[in-house]
Amino acid sequence: MKELIKNSLNDLDSAMELRELVINKINNQKLTESDIIEIVDTVDDLSFEDTQKLGSIFRKFPLGCDLLEIGVGPCSSSLTLPQFIENCVFTDHMGFPIHLCGYALADIAEKEGMSPIAVMNEVYNNVEVPLDLDHFGRFGPMRFPKEISHCMGDCYYNGPPYKGCPRDRIHKRLITKEREYSNEFGEWIKKSATVCVNVVEEQGGGDHGADISEMEDVAKAAQKFGRGVEGIFHIGDGYEDLITGLKACNDLDVDVLVIEGGPFNRSKDRLKDFAKSVAVSRILVKGGVVATNGAYEDECRVGLRSGLNVILSGFSGNHHGYMCGYNIKEARRNNFGLPRVLKIMKEEAEKINICIANRELLKVLARSSRFLNYKENHLVYPSMIGDYFIGDAHWVSITNSKMYNAPYFGKTLDSLEEELNCDKVGVLGGRYISWGIADALKPEELYVSDVDPWVEHATVKILNDNGINAYACNGTDKKALESADKTVITTMIPEIVLRIKNKFDAVSLL
């Protein structure tokens, strides 16, 4: 893998070969600690600039996910139920996924005289965006004493190196309270799109997280219900801790890797090792999405330049409100971090020409996911074509949200099959929808046109490798239409569909 990593810096086909190798190992449970060490060591030898370049390459389609996104924590133990729901509605309106801290919802429920799941139901009934569940254990929402639930964030305020909680109060649990509502366990997962597990106990952070056996129980339960799993780990010393965290996440078969820096980045070269952690995670992540739940401003910026997809933030009172985007001596409880993180992300997105997900884009993903249904099978992640997933962890997240179940009047693969009924098919757009059309309908010839030469090249290569006669049209839509019996506009963005329909007689999916 060492040579493939180095070659990937200047050869995208080498990057594809490496990604195929890693995914095969993950799917066959053959990714070993020595594999992880080899990848970490190789990336460690790269310059700071090349590390960032490598991570960005593996964010490209189809190696990873080339969207940026903000996850928002609207909850706090100090909020009333109406205040909390208002924060959720506001977040939903912006189109950002909602990150729920289980203990905070349970604390709000206790104050309101409700069961914890009743508060979760209130959230679910008022929003459509995906719900991401954190601080969730084998009995349900974790419960903490007030000195933890109302923590002021001294560790983030003071900065690294982390040498244990400054007030010696983590990780205490109120297990009796957790057990009281353990019968609600499954309902929490059913209402969630994704569930977080924290592996820092494996990294020597037993004062900061649950034991790995509990996290294994949670991961298995989430997978049983078809939910995505996000694995949280610390950068730590930037080497052994990083390897241990990645191995633990791989052992739990997580879909998303979530990196915590800030005071938990104890590396001597903290920015280079933050970039390295992101780049290595990009290569190793199963579901193509890499996030951070804790990073100072300089780490956020370096992370975005190194292939990061998601930054968690939050409202005032939520610990993610100060954990991302601030500097030492700025990060404190009651910061409303979302505006800061959004500003950072917008500035960095403009430099790398990549878009930030919003409500309209989530709707596009939901429509795309609805289309990829064929003969009662849902052809999205973790469904595959050859060595590649059709979609990424974002697709499973949106599929498990209420937004997916909104009224849909577009086509599915089943209805498209009846409409096409031909041997030569053209596709305008070379991403996952075109993969689904090729894989399900198996036309004798498929003509692919995409404005991005790399997307077109990668799609044609993947389809050809899997027995589909696909031909590149070099971004010339007219060539696809002339070569095919019928041609499909694969985008689910209405404005683009109308623009193409005004030029060409092609089949729309909307």
Q: What is the pLDDT of residues 216-239, one digit of tens each?
A: 999 999 999 999 999 999 999 999
Q: How far apart are CA 496 and CA 237, in angstroms?
A: 47
pLDDT digit string, tens, across residues 427-436:
999 999 999 9
The answer to whether 160 and 270 are in contact (CB under 8 A) is yes
120 burial (CB, 10 Å; 0-12 / 13-18 / 19+) is: buried
Average pLDDT over residues 62-88: 97
Which residue is associated with the tokens 């739940």? 293
Bridge partners, 470 (sequence order): 446
The three-class DSSP label of residue 159 is: coil
- pLDDT per residue as tens digits for the range 81-138: 999 999 999 999 999 999 999 999 999 999 999 999 999 999 999 999 999 999 999 9
DSSP state of 334: T
Residue type, 212: I
CB 104 within 8 A of CB 110: no
At 146, the pLDDT band (50, 70, 90 cuts) reads confident
What pLDDT, on a 0 to 100 scale, did the predictor assign at position 169? 52
pLDDT (0 to 100) of residue 203: 83
φ, ψ for residue 311, nearest 5 deg: -120, 130
Q: What is the pLDDT of residue 205?
A: 66
Q: Give the model's confidence band at 147: pLDDT under 50 very low, under 70 low, under 90 confident, else very high.
A: confident
pLDDT for the residue 93: 98
Q: What is the pLDDT of residues 97-113, one digit of tens each?
A: 999 999 999 999 999 99
User: How far apart are the C-alpha atoms of 244 and 93, rounded to whole Å?
Assistant: 39
pLDDT greater than 60 at residue 167 = no
| pLDDT given at position 7 | 98
The pLDDT assigned to 153 comes to 81
CB count, 10 Å around CB of 107? 25
Q: Hey, what CATH topology would domain 48-359 get?
A: TIM Barrel (3.20.20)
Q: Residue 62: left if φ>0, alpha if ψ -120 to 50, beta else—which one?
A: alpha
> Residue range 342-355: average pLDDT?
96
Mean pLDDT rounded to a whole number for the chain? 95
Calculate the CA 45 to chain-centre distance.
27
Answer whether 100's CB lies under 8 Å from 132's CB.
yes
For the chain, the structural domain boundaries read: 48-359, 409-508
The per-residue pLDDT for 148 is: 82
CATH class belonging to 409-508 = alpha beta
Mean pLDDT of 297-310: 99
Confidence of residue 263 (pLDDT cuts 50, 70, 90): very high
Task: Determine the average pLDDT of the residues in 473-479.
Answer: 97
**How far are the Cα atoms of 367, 399, 409, 440 from residue 371, in angstroms, in the given order?**
6, 11, 10, 12
- What pLDDT is recorded for position 208? 65
CA dihedral 125, 128, 133, 139 (to 10 degrees): 30
> Exposed (0-12), middle (13-18) or buried (19+): which is 295, by Cβ within 10 Å?
buried
pLDDT tens, position by position, 51-61: 999 999 999 99
- Beta carbons of 249 and 216 less than 8 angstroms apart: no
pLDDT at 207: 62
Q: What are phi and psi of 219, to 5 degrees?
A: -60, -45
Q: Please say whether the beta carbons of 153 and 220 come within 8 A.
A: no
What does the pLDDT read at residue 206? 63
Identify the pLDDT of residue 171. Answer: 64
* Least confident range of 149-153, 269-273, 454-458: 149-153
For residues 310 and 68, the answer to whether their CB atoms sit within 8 Å is: yes
Q: Which residues pair with 141 in a beta bridge?
A: 136
Q: pLDDT class for 168, splitting at 50, 70, 90?
A: low
Tell whether the model's pLDDT for residue 484 goes beyond 80: yes
- Average pLDDT for 326-345: 95
